[in-house]
Chains A and B, each alone.
Chain A
Amino acid sequence: MVKKLINNPDDIVNELIEGFVLVNSSRVKRIGRSNAVARIDAPVKGKVGIVIGGGAGHEPLFLEYIGEGMADAEAHGQIFAAPSPNIVMDAIRAADGGRGVILLYNNYAGDVLNFGIAQEMAREEGIQIETVLINDEISSAPPDRMEDRRGTTSDHLIIKIAGAASAAGLDINSLVKLLRRAIFNSRSLGVSLSACSLPQTGLATFSLEEGKIEFGMGLHGEAGVKKVDLMTADETAKTILDYLIADLPYKAGDQAIVVVNGYGSTTRMEMFIVARKIYSYLSEKKINIYSLELGEFCTSQEMAGISITLIKIDDEIREYYDAKAVSPCYIKI
């Protein structure tokens, strides 16, 4: 049984949200007693509302990415489970500034179901709603079945682009087009060194044998595609980059944002060593790194491992990437 600092397992999400709101009380608010939160000044009139959300257990995703230049409201589910439709509705109403609302979330069956039901409910209330699914994880399905791919670790930057573009006044249809382009340009792949555990059971979600690593593990312990012996950091980074580069493909002369994301228990020491290889290898490939972000943006409890994300950028995407953002876990000034 894995040790975690929780109280009653049934109260995890409620208490997590209470704590989050207390820590960020000048920036965010809870929607009544719902598991939905919003930026403190929501709804912001005159712009498209951005609603994000998904299961708990991946913090800072999605909870902490609400604020100026980021999302307007977030719907938080139970651990690794999509939020129910009424939580999503709470977030939608909080985000609705009169110009429609975009539901921006990862492509998982539970999320599609619950957000989809909420979308219908909102439309019945006369709110204009569009859905944009994030599906950047390349091992979950081949390129000819992109619609089956999961969403994983490009999320905080897709959210940033959505927040910046909506603040700039883009209408809902232009926003949807922009986001789908940014998502199409984003490819992610991770490697796991050890499993995570569910706090409510104390049990690991999968087992990884001694000395083995697995490429393509999901954020909830979904099986990966390749299990091999532990490699060096440089070999691991090169392996992931080769898969990513081939997938879009990213070509010589492209400009990219790179994300090195820790899944929860991988040290910054390891991530810096990996980042070093990313710089040299992408330089070899003549892919320009506009910016490299390193940290924990999307975790899976205490899973060990990292993911690498490449986002090919153009002038428009770069402009929104550079724009101001102020949120509990992402700031750009």
Chain B
Amino acid sequence: MKDELEVNDFNNILAAISRTMTANRNYLCELDSVIGDGDHGITISSGFEKIINAIEGRDFTDSAELLRTAGSSFMATVGGTTGPIFGYLFIEMGNKLREISKGENIPVGVDEFSIMARAAMEKIMKLGGAKPGDKTMIDALYPAVNSLQQSAGEKLSLGEAFRLMAAAALTGAQSTKEMIASKGRARYAGERAIGFQDAGATSLYLILNEFNIYVNGK
């Protein structure tokens, strides 16, 4: 079983994410329709399709370049709040990897992935101003990042770290159900938002879960 990810792996995972988002398009639209305008599934799956178009057939010198290209392409084509928030997830992971690898094409293990994910989360929180409890994708990302840090500290395998990361993201996404939204369009819904899981947090879980599936199998 893999204990590190290389360029090919990130490529494959992005393709898998795209397939999963497309498969969940209607579900994500439904989630978004109660307190949003019902297009999140279309928006995010279309964005990932454009990523795949942008990276298909290209040779990337390292994983950092692939991640930055994927994120930039997503942000450039998607717009709305989804574009920058999910775009920077990949852009900032790529930026951090570039920084810690000092430009070398290093494989990404638990330690590296944990640092990359935390950097991405901090960038997103700074950009959008969301904190845990605001009913956003941060409510799935924050526990996932904490889980990764713990796994790195305990020297767990990549498979185990990803399994726990995905579980934490899922619990986080589900916890948004009872929250009132403080950010984005949903914040005008007030208490009407209670009882509905946040579409962005759900998407974030689906994305992270593809890393889990890739390493551990379904």
Contacts and interface: CB of A to CB of B under 8 A. Distances in A.
B103 interface: no
Contact of A114 (B39, B83, B184, B189): B83
A79 to B, nearest CB: 8
A82 B75 contact: no
Given A84-B75, A85-B75, A218-B185, A110 B81 contact: yes
Given A113-B84, A113-B127, A223-B190, A198 B38 contact: yes
A85 B81 contact: no
A84 B127 contact: no
Contacts of A108: 185
B43 interface: yes
Given A201-B29, A218-B185, A223-B192, A85 B128 contact: no
A21 interface: no
Nearest to A203: B38
B128 A109 contact: yes
Interface of A is mostly: loop
B39 A222 contact: no
B189 A198 contact: no
A10 interface: yes
A114 B33 CA distance: 23
B192 A201 contact: no
A78 B79 contact: yes
Contacts of B100: none
Contact of B79 (A10, A87, A218): A87
B78 interface: yes
Interface of A: 10, 55, 77-87, 108-110, 113-114, 116-117, 140, 150, 198, 200-201, 203, 205, 218, 220-223
B79 A223 contact: no
B128 A201 contact: no
Nearest to B183: A109
Given A109-B128, A113-B128, 8 more contacts: A84-B76, A86-B76, A110-B81, A110-B83, A116-B127, A200-B42, A205-B38, A221-B37
B77 to A, nearest CB: 7
A277 B29 CA distance: 41
A213 B79 CA distance: 32
Interface string B69-93: 0000001111111111100000000
Interface in B118-137: 127-128
Nearest to A75: B79
Listed residue (B76, B80, B84) with the most chain A CB atoms within 10 angstroms of its CB: B80
Given A82-B80, A85-B76, A222-B185, A200 B39 contact: yes
Interface in B171-218: 183-185, 188-190, 192
A10 B46 contact: yes
B189 A82 contact: no
B84 A114 contact: yes
Given A108-B185, A113-B85, A223-B190, A81 B38 contact: no
Contacts of B82: 81
B74 to A, nearest CB: 9
A223 to B, nearest CB: 5
11 contacts: A55-B80, A78-B80, A81-B78, A82-B80, A109-B185, A113-B81, A198-B38, A200-B39, A200-B42, A221-B37, A223-B192
A223 B80 contact: no
Given A201-B42, A222-B188, A110 B37 contact: no
B188 A223 contact: yes
Contacts of A109: 81, 128, 183-185
A220 B81 contact: no
Given A85-B75, A85-B76, A218 B83 contact: no
Contacts of A83: 79
A108 B36 CA distance: 13
Nearest to A83: B79
B49 to A, nearest CB: 10
A85 B80 CA distance: 10
A109 B79 CA distance: 11
A117 B80 contact: no
Contacts of A220: 37, 185
Contacts of A222: 185, 188-189
A198 B80 CA distance: 15
A77 B80 contact: yes
A110 B83 CA distance: 9
